[in-house]
């Protein structure tokens, strides 16, 4: 069959025969070549990572210069200061720290003079409201 394929292809190369399902030739140094290729890939990856780490360090230095110039703190620093403040407030307390009350909550005086009956009457239809009010 191999002879017939070669005749049909008109002298095709060995690689063409392999692609068509022919016998593969075993390379005695294939394992060594594969190992060298893998090592080259690892080395390229390490170089790429080093390059990007260097670029990120340069960017961070530029960011820090801007922060220093305008007095901006890093997010991590702000969070650490807020956490330290919370811990300092709760240092002598035996209970958990109190949650901050959102604005608008608890500022209004509660209406105690309205009874439950008045509240129920509000939700009744008009003629029934008139009947209860009399």
Instruction: Cite the DSSP H helix spans in the chain.
Output: 2-9, 14-19, 30-70, 75-89, 116-122, 126-133
Give the SS3 label for residue 42: helix
pTM score, whole prediction: 0.40
Average pLDDT of the chain is: 77
Q: What is the mean pLDDT of residues 23-31?
A: 73
Please write the tens of the pLDDT for every residue from 33-77.
999 999 999 999 999 999 999 999 999 999 999 999 999 888 888
């Amino acid at each position: 069959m191999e002879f017939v394929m070669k005749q049909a292809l008109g002298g095709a190369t060995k690689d063409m025969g392999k692609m068509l399902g022919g016998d593969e030739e075993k390379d005695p140094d294939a394992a060594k070549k594969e190992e060298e290729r893998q090592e080259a890939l690892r080395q390229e990856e390490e170089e790429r990572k080093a390059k990007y780490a260097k670029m990120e360090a340069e960017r961070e230095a530029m960011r820090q210069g801007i922060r220093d110039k305008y007095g901006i703190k890093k997010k991590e620093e702000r969070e650490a200061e807020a956490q330290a403040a919370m811990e300092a407030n709760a240092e002598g307390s035996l209970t958990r720290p109190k949650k901050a009350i959102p604005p608008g909550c608890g500022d209004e005086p509660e209406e105690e003079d309205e009874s439950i009956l008045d509240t129920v009457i509000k939700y009744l239809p008009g003629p029934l409201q008139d009947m209860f009010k009399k």
